[in-house]
Structure 1
């Protein structure tokens, strides 16, 4: 018997039974009062589908959306980490102007609804950047080429590449505010005596940060950064509002075309749960191994 089952006590079993009863009651209520016809047998075809003409399996709507969510989350987290580290350093800078600018950016993003921020960044920044770099024409040229397998592996459908870039930029700019505060807290957690000792032996501020402060601060901020990465995955659903074709957007498409309302959204919720819970367990294990 698995170890987690051996740890279960009778209150845990009662809670599980109550949860099962609640889910069963909701399912029966939906089917009875709303006269809803459950069609779970159709959902697997929208995850993986067999193509008879090529005799091969291909990822359908939901799996395409899941892959897009993973790609966007990875790229956004890297960009958010870079921007957030810069913001965290700016928040602890000696120059008052730099500190005020960084704090203004952080406070604005942390106190404005994310939906508003997404639209502001999209229309005033990422859309303008994509047009300036002429990414639409570049992505179309690659999509028309022959060797697109590598590009599609990293970026998905290249015809949708500009919208993915827009989503990555918007999500990274939003999440960088939270990463910046985490980095700032990590830097300020280092005892001031260590910094003064570094200055007393002739280290510059850059050397002090590089050799004394940042190595210790990074160890302290890894757990909250891991939690922020999981939050970023869940926040990625917001960018479906700007037509980025990630998991939530694909689910909306599926519901609109098939009317599989409950089946589609429950499946999507399960995808998000498995992804986020799996990463949570992984980060917890890595934290214990440190």
Structure 2
């Protein structure tokens, strides 16, 4: 039996209109009670502004925060992928010792609030570990070629040490969830695949590399992409250690201009657009994987 395609009904439109009206009414009441004066004309200059010296358009405070958020999310996801892959392999290892390490890592991280973890990592690990290996706030303050690369790939030179601390904290935290995604993906492969590859004389490493992992990768890619979206949203928490990402810039801007509603509605819209775009890309990617896994169904 072929399932009917989902379609929008009159009832759906009525419900959507009702939710929209309720949201607008609540917003109107909030601004009415506060006697709030809207000033949307001030927001565009914090997205893009004209530099008087160079005569070029440059990112404003909000757009600068967006760029830092994206860099932070990408670096955190890269760290989380490395840690999650290693710990996921530990979780399914034949070694009891490695299983204990992988399980202990997951249980510790998943049962600590992310806010507490960021504080612990920053004050007790990042604030001590980075200076110990020669990375401090003054390390990258020169104006040489390295500073331009840092601005492009990481953050402002004076913010690099804090950025590294935040990226590591977020990467280690998100890595616990990627560990479980990796473990579940590998364990979802039929045992017959293990037995067949073992019968061909493959070692366990060869089994993982040539047989199991390529099949598991196809299954874990969609949840990994979803975890990247979650990392974008979770990156807002590192604003508490003064990383100048989107949420931090919003708080600074609100304190300076008192444009409370305008600033936070703009930031909400930016987060929504970024996450929705990533979600749509993930959806298209999942459809692409399904078509590749069932080529005989293609027209």
TM-score bracket, normalised by the shorter chain, equals over 0.9
Aligned partners of 1:116 and 1:43: how far apart in 2?
A: 33
What is the match of residue 177 of structure 2? Answer: 178
Deviations, residues 18-76 of structure 1 (Å, cap 9, x unaligned): 23312321232122111111111111111111223332211111111000000000111
Deviation of the 1:134 alpha carbon: 2.3
> Which stretch of structure 1 is more off in the superposition, 127-136 or 66-75?
127-136
In structure 1, the residue corresponding to 2:215 is in which secondary structure?
Answer: helix
- The aligned counterpart of 2:89 is 89
CA offset at residue 148 of structure 1? 4.2
**C-alpha separation between the residues in 2 aligned to 1:94 and 1:146?**
48
Task: Name the residue aligned to 2:102.
Answer: 102
Give distance in 1, aligned partners of 2:20 and 2:44.
Answer: 23
SS of the counterpart of 1:139?
A: coil
Whole-angstrom distance in 2 between the partners of 1:134 and 1:37 = 50
DSSP 3-state at the match of 1:112: coil
- Cα RMSD (Å) of the superposition? 1.6
Q: TM-score, normalised by structure 2?
A: 0.90
Equivalent residue of 2:141, what SS?
helix
The number of aligned residues is: 282
- Is 1:242–2:262 an aligned residue pair? no
Distance 1:175 1:232 in 2: 7
TM-score (normalizing by structure 1): 0.92
Matches of 1:228 and 1:151, distance apart in 2:
26
Q: Does 1:158 pair with 2:184?
A: no
Distance apart, 1:204 and its partner CA = 1.1
Q: 1:139 — aligned with what?
A: 140
Q: Which shifted more, 76-85 or 118-127?
A: 118-127
Q: How does 1:104-143 map to 2 (within 5 A)?
A: 104-136=104-136, 137-141=138-142
Secondary structure of 2:140's aligned partner: helix
For residues 171-250 of structure 1, the aligned pairs below 5 Å read 171-250=170-249
> Which residue of structure 2 lines up, in the alignment, with residue 21 of structure 1?
21
In the superposition, relative to structure 1, how do residues 202 and 147 fare at CA in structure 2: closer, same or farther (>3 Å)?
closer
Structure 2 residue matching 1:135: 3-state secondary structure: coil
User: What is aligned with 1:3?
Assistant: none
Q: Unaligned regions of 5+ residues in structure 2, if any?
A: 1-6, 290-299
SS at match of 1:283: helix
Q: Distance in 1 between matches of 2:121 and 2:52?
A: 43
Which runs of no fewer than 5 residues in structure 1 stay unpaired? 1-6
Cα distance per residue 1:187-241 (max 9 Å; x no partner): 1111122212222332111111111111111111111111111001100011111
- Deviation of 1:146 after TM superposition, in Å, equals 6.2
Higher fraction of helix: 1
1:126: Cα distance to partner?
2.3
Task: Give the CA deviation at 1:17.
Answer: 1.8
Which residue in 2 is equivalent to 1:69?
Answer: 69
User: Kindly tell me: are residues 147 and 235 of structure 1, through their superposed partners in 2, closer, same or farther at Cα, counting changes over 3 Å?
Assistant: closer
The question of whether the paired residues in 1 share the 8 Å contact of 2:222 and 2:285 is answered with no
Shift of 1:127: 2.4
Matched, 1:266 2:265: yes
Q: CA separation in 2, counterparts of 1:112 and 1:179?
A: 16
Secondary structure of 2:112's match?
coil
Q: Is the 2:140–2:147 Cα contact (8 Å) retained in structure 1?
A: no
